[in-house]
Structure 1
Amino acid sequence: MFRDLARTAVRWVGQAIPVPICAPSVRREVILVRPDHLGDAILTLPALRLVRQVAPGLTTTLLAGPWTAELFAITRVVDRVLPVVFPGFTRRPSTDFTQPYRLLVHEAARLRRHAPLALVVLRDDHWWGAWLGYLAGIPIRVGADHPTLRPFLTHPVPLRSEHVAARNIELVRALLRLLGYDPPESQPTANDHPVVWPVDRAAQSRVWARLVAQGIHAPFAVVHPGSGAAAKCWPEQRWAALVDALADLGLAVILTGSRSEQQMLEAIAKTARATPLVLAGDLSLAELAELLRAASLVVGPDTGPLHLAVAVGAPTVHLFGPTRPERFGPWGPATRHRVVRSPLECPRCGDIGPIRPCGVGCMMALSVERVVAVVQDCLSKGLSG
């Protein structure tokens, strides 16, 4: 409570301090700010591609966390990426109240040397990014019309769309219009603005060599049980039951996750009757993408690798509990990317903070039987083809 009040007071002081506007350089550089991790970063790709398509003469610089550096190196949707260790996104506790503001001053000085023409904040509530543009003296600053951003923006944008990917597209369209371009006016859709992930033949070869060495051939399913937020996860026993159901349907099963999730994956494998292959932190992002591309089905909660599976075109089943699929669901055809939504809603819907554990009520309300029924329906309709 005290920290929230202090943060509000600091922002109020910050917006009251006049900052001189920098004359933009001849490069016509645009700064795009996306602090989030894998899933939200993937949902930014259609908007970044739109900038490239409509305004190829702009120099695009993305401020992104080091945790998404590999993603943007693979997709090459911007001219360059400047890594920023964004406060509040490190997934590590912090006791230094001053650190976000010291970093803000440092990064503003760095941007000032770039002398960009404009900045767009690609997250509705990212006041730190908006304040960064203000302190850097960037002439045009675009972001969502959110009360914490509004004082730092020259052009707050009322957003009409619900889905994060569509909201990103609305924001870059607003920026492009301000710069004299003519982007489309229609409601953004996944059909018009798909998430695209390039094929990596070398990564494909490495993945298949590994699978063959483990005795796995198509068809196989990938189950990715983990998430950066524990509240979005299912208990290990339910994942084990799903692994057995997939095996009973004739699929080999691969469990994927980070190195930190290895213990969880091994517990699922040990509980299951079947013998899934466990890949915990063993794959690069490019290799994970190619593994998912080859899968007959990918199942998991609302998490980054499920959005990656959508990007590579794999059939997917997404388990949604405390988050809303209308906002964070798969950005692709609903017939190919299925959502299993919890029937239970509570006042804490949307709360995926670190104090909420695995096994919250809405996730527990998703039965194994219901998820298996959706999986069977996907497979019976041949979505893996």
Structure 2
Amino acid sequence: MNVLIIKTSSLGDVIHALPVIDYLHQVSPGIEIDWVAEEQFLPVLEHNPGLRRIFAVRTKKWRKAPFSAETRSDLKELRKGLRERPYDLVFDIQGNLKSGLIAWLSGARERIGFTREVLQEKANALFTTRRIPFRDCDRNVTDRYLRVVSVPFDRDYRGMELAGAIFSSPEDEAAAERYRAELPEGLVILFQVGTTWSSKLWHPEGWTELARRIVARYPGATILINWGSPDEKAIGERIIREVGAAVRLLPWLRIRELIPVLRRMDLVVGGDTGPVYLAAAVGTPTVSFYRATSAATYAPQGKRHRAVQADMECAPCYRTSCDRDGECRNSISVDALFAAVTDLIEPANGS
């Protein structure tokens, strides 16, 4: 059986969708799976042994110049690649107009996706031939992707042990190992201080106080700050100034370079953002917090993960900005995050 998965973005959502690969191989041995993703997220998929082929798309660039020769050539090549081997099933678990068009370009007769009421872009429903409703038990976003994929195989995903692993090249693993060897012995904890929405961020004072408490509780611990913008780097530099040499800036890393570094961390702390989900996917414990979004929907699942939801009556609001932003940030307490950190670290140390 040949199957196509369309999950193009974002980084976190592609990671949340990875267990569908394991599900499909368990329920249909010998299945061959292709995947369509945005070019910048290929490192999450490119070394996965469960995939036959990955198609890279550049939809933002195409939208800026939809009638350019380059766009027309890219779409022609995509259509040609998608039709090289007929797909028995196409699963559109992106659910927007662009993914619907990609599903249609595949030429597959059976294209399965979300029901209209949960689509943000209702036009997507024009391109699917079968639409799967969620159940009340499908609370986490991964559950929802698995629901759509599982129905044609008549086997519920619940009760199955499903992995969402991410693989790296030997060269990137070796580089991460060299970097880890240069750090002091002891705990190494990574802070992911940035994310895409301002309504998902925490305040710098909170990060600084959390770092102080960790360093005081665990002498010899190292805290690394991951950053991807000047603002995030400035927060890291502030934490270093106020806490001291136990805190370091991580070098700026591309996704493929960050993945094996996260694999070598003892713990990752951050909000609703891709690197936190990368960490969980490679087996690293996480502490995550949620303000505008829902911990029940997005937080990593399992005994090695802890999540804190903003203590606001309006949370989760799914707004990208808000007049009560300061109040919402402060509702994520240092006490709650530090308690989650110690809860994960101390059992592992036998304390």
TM-score (norm. length: structure 1): 0.76
Q: Which residue number corresponds to residue 195 of structure 1?
A: 164
Matched, 1:166 2:134: no
Assess if the C-alpha contact under 8 Å between 2:23 and 2:157 holds in 1: no
CA distance in structure 2 between the aligned counterparts of 1:194 and 1:55, rounded to whole angstroms: 16
Assess if the C-alpha contact under 8 Å between 1:323 and 1:349 holds in 2: yes
Corresponding residue pairs, total: 337
Q: What is the aligned counterpart of 2:212 among 226, 240, 244? A: 244
Assess if the C-alpha contact under 8 Å between 2:83 and 2:107 holds in 1: no
CA distance in structure 1 between the aligned counterparts of 2:239 and 2:44, rounded to whole angstroms: 28
CA distance in structure 2 between the aligned counterparts of 1:270 and 1:126, rounded to whole angstroms: 44
TM-score (norm. length: structure 2): 0.82
Task: Give the Å deviation of 1:228.
Answer: 2.5
Matched, 1:234 2:209: no
CA distance in structure 2 between the aligned counterparts of 1:288 and 1:108, rounded to whole angstroms: 29
Q: What is the aligned counterpart of 2:233 among 262, 266, 275? A: 262
Q: Which residue number corresponds to residue 291 of structure 1?
A: 261
Label 1:241 to 1:80 Cα distance change in 2 as closer, same or farther (>3 A).
same
Label 1:230 to 1:75 Cα distance change in 2 as closer, same or farther (>3 A).
farther
Matched, 1:370 2:336: yes
Label 1:307 to 1:366 Cα distance change in 2 as closer, same or farther (>3 A).
same
Assess if the C-alpha contact under 8 Å between 1:35 and 1:86 holds in 2: no
Assess if the C-alpha contact under 8 Å between 2:147 and 2:157 holds in 1: no
Q: Which residue number corresponds to residue 248 of structure 2?
A: 277
SS of aligned partner of 1:114: coil
Please report the RMSD computed on the Cα atoms of aligned residues, expressed in angstroms: 3.3
Task: Give the Å deviation of 1:205.
Answer: 4.4
CA distance in structure 2 between the aligned counterparts of 1:351 and 1:311, rounded to whole angstroms: 27
Q: Give the letter for the 2:7 counterpart.
A: R
Assess if the C-alpha contact under 8 Å between 1:233 and 1:363 holds in 2: yes
Assess if the C-alpha contact under 8 Å between 2:111 and 2:129 holds in 1: yes
Task: Give the Å deviation of 1:329.
Answer: 1.0
| Matched-pair identity in % | 22
Label 1:284 to 1:83 Cα distance change in 2 as closer, same or farther (>3 A).
closer
CA distance in structure 2 between the aligned counterparts of 1:159 and 1:126, rounded to whole angstroms: 17
Task: Give the Å deviation of 1:111.
Answer: 5.8
Q: Which residue number corresponds to residue 126 of structure 1?
A: 96
SS of aligned partner of 2:348: coil
Show structure 2 runs of 5+ residues with no match. Answer: none
Match runs of 1:1-385 below 5 Å: 29-87=2-60, 109-110=79-80, 113-114=83-84, 116-117=86-87, 118-123=89-94, 125-134=95-104, 136-147=106-117, 148=122, 149-160=124-135, 161-175=138-152, 177=153, 184-187=155-158, 192-198=161-167, 203-213=172-182, 215-250=183-218, 251-258=221-228, 261-282=232-253, 285=256, 287-330=257-300, 332-333=301-302, 335-346=303-314, 349-352=317-320, 359=325, 361-382=327-348
SS of aligned partner of 1:69: helix
Q: Give the letter for the 1:47 counterpart.
A: V
CA distance in structure 1 between the aligned counterparts of 2:294 and 2:316, rounded to whole angstroms: 12
Moved more, 246-255 or 261-270: 261-270
CA distance in structure 2 between the aligned counterparts of 1:370 and 1:348, rounded to whole angstroms: 18
Q: Which residue number corresponds to residue 18 of structure 1?
A: none
SS of aligned partner of 1:241: helix
Label 1:134 to 1:357 Cα distance change in 2 as closer, same or farther (>3 A).
farther
- Which string of whole-angstrom CA distances, capped at 9 and with x for unpartnered residues, describes residues 46-92 of structure 1? 102222333344432211001111111133331111111234xx8xx
Label 1:142 to 1:262 Cα distance change in 2 as closer, same or farther (>3 A).
same
CA distance in structure 1 between the aligned counterparts of 2:350 and 2:284, rounded to whole angstroms: 7
Assess if the C-alpha contact under 8 Å between 1:43 and 1:164 holds in 2: yes
CA distance in structure 2 between the aligned counterparts of 1:262 and 1:50, rounded to whole angstroms: 39
Q: Give the letter for the 1:59 counterpart.
A: E
Assess if the C-alpha contact under 8 Å between 1:232 and 1:358 holds in 2: no
Label 1:112 to 1:203 Cα distance change in 2 as closer, same or farther (>3 A).
closer
Task: Give the Å deviation of 1:349.
Answer: 0.7
Q: Which residue number corresponds to residue 21 of structure 1?
A: none
CA distance in structure 2 between the aligned counterparts of 1:244 and 1:40, rounded to whole angstroms: 32
CA distance in structure 1 between the aligned counterparts of 2:168 and 2:225, rounded to whole angstroms: 22
- Which string of whole-angstrom CA distances, capped at 9 and with x for unpartnered residues, describes residues 198-224 of structure 1? 4876645433432443x4222221111
- Which string of whole-angstrom CA distances, capped at 9 and with x for unpartnered residues, describes residues 293-349 of structure 1? 33332211111111122222222111111111111110x31x320011111132771
CA distance in structure 2 between the aligned counterparts of 1:37 and 1:246, rounded to whole angstroms: 31
Label 1:43 to 1:270 Cα distance change in 2 as closer, same or farther (>3 A).
same
Assess if the C-alpha contact under 8 Å between 2:48 and 2:166 holds in 1: yes
